[in-house]
Amino acid sequence: MLKRMALALGLGLGATLAQAADVLRVYGWEGRLAPSVIEAFENQSGIKVEYTTYSKAEDVLRDVGFGIRYDVVFPAHFHLPALIDSQRLQPLDQARLSNLKQVDPDLLAMLSSFEGETRHAVPYLWGTVGLALNVSKVVDTLGVQPEDSWGLLFDAQNSARLAQCGIGLLDAREEAVSLLLNYKGRALGRSGPRQIQQAGADLAALRGKATSFGNSAYIEQLASGKLCMAMAWSGHVLKAADSGAPLRYVTPREGALMFIDTMAIPRNAEHVDAAYRFIDFLASGEANTRNARETLFYPVTRIDSPAMARLASERLDLVVTGEQRRSYYYLEALSAKQKNAVDASWVQVAGK
């Protein structure tokens, strides 16, 4: 379900531009852009922002370029090739993004491998998909200290036992299929329809044991103790742990999946000038680390910047070095045949 939050202060700053832009329509992930950051942009620019959210990555592929004319969208890195190939994103004029130099060059370089020669997107946060564990409940249920392994979730015997204390599965098809195949020693990007279909069948069986299936309710369920284990986005686990829940976020030995959320301008955007100002604002170290503090997803600001030094003094768990990132793997872009196979296999899991 889409949720719309119109954040408009009407303070009269930059009135001419605000009137020209009318309202900047932004389409992004639920819980990944802090309201205070939007408010700060509105205060600085005088531009009103209407922020519409989604909870599944596939919503961007469905909606961008059709129907509502969004001005800024936040696609995951692995969906950029499909959006670029279908000419639904504008190439970016990097000369209009003065804060691009504040973004981690390693993340920019990685993103370029998905974009080709022309830049269409700018990173604004990143995170991983790993395991959230209430260790004491897991130990009580299994009778042993758990290993840092996806086998806790993907091994049928373990998941059957841990279902007694509650397990959660994300409604994130490409991420879930990729992680299961990776656990079995196979990369999603090198798998055929038959292997993908079998992964879907295995995940459907796992979904049958799950207390929670979705991308937002599981956070509160982890915090309240209704779940003892969940496939989870890193920022969500940190948020649940901040509420006092005895949770541990695990990077399994088989690897955690890494994603980059990006900022892009759709081909049919109405307010391009305002869109550039919004993207450049979020690329600044000050705004980007502020967003990290509030959402608890990792910032994309250069590790050697003053903004990151300040963040490290407050939340060291949000500062990850390039060396640490080498233990993660990126979700790869898929061929049309592979994407169709993933979508078809997910019908078994989601039931639609």
pLDDT along the chain (352 residues), means of 10: 42 41 88 96 97 87 82 94 93 97 95 86 97 96 96 97 98 96 96 97 97 92 94 93 90 94 96 98 98 97 97 95 86 92 95 73
CATH architecture observed for domain 128-257+332-350: 3-Layer(aba) Sandwich (3.40)
Strand partners, 329: 257
Residue pair 38/10 in contact by the 8 Å Cβ criterion: no
pLDDT at 352: 62
Tell me what pLDDT residue 146 has.
95
Q: Tokens for 92?
A: 């970016």
Which residue, 4, 1, 31, is CA-closest to 239? Answer: 31
Q: Is 167 helix (H, G, I), strand (E, B) or coil?
A: strand
Instruction: Give the pLDDT score at 334.
Output: 92
Cα distance between residue 134 and residue 89, in whole Å: 41
Query: How large is the greatest C-alpha to C-alpha distance in the chain, in angstroms?
Result: 66
Q: Choose among 59, 94, 87: nearest CA to 74.
A: 59
Spatial contact of 125 and 261, defined as CB atoms under 8 Å apart: yes
pLDDT at 17: 43
Q: Where are the domains of the chain?
A: 23-126+259-322, 128-257+332-350
CATH of domain 23-126+259-322: 3.40.190.10
Residues ≥6 apart with Cβ < 8 Å to 139: 145, 146
Strand (E) positions, the chain? 3-7, 24-29, 49-54, 72-73, 122-133, 167-169, 212-213, 229-233, 248-250, 256-263, 328-330
Provide the 3-class DSSP secondary structure of residue 262: strand
pLDDT at res. 198: 98
Q: What angle do CA 204, 205, 211 make, to 5 degrees?
A: 90
Residue with tokens 């407050």: 314
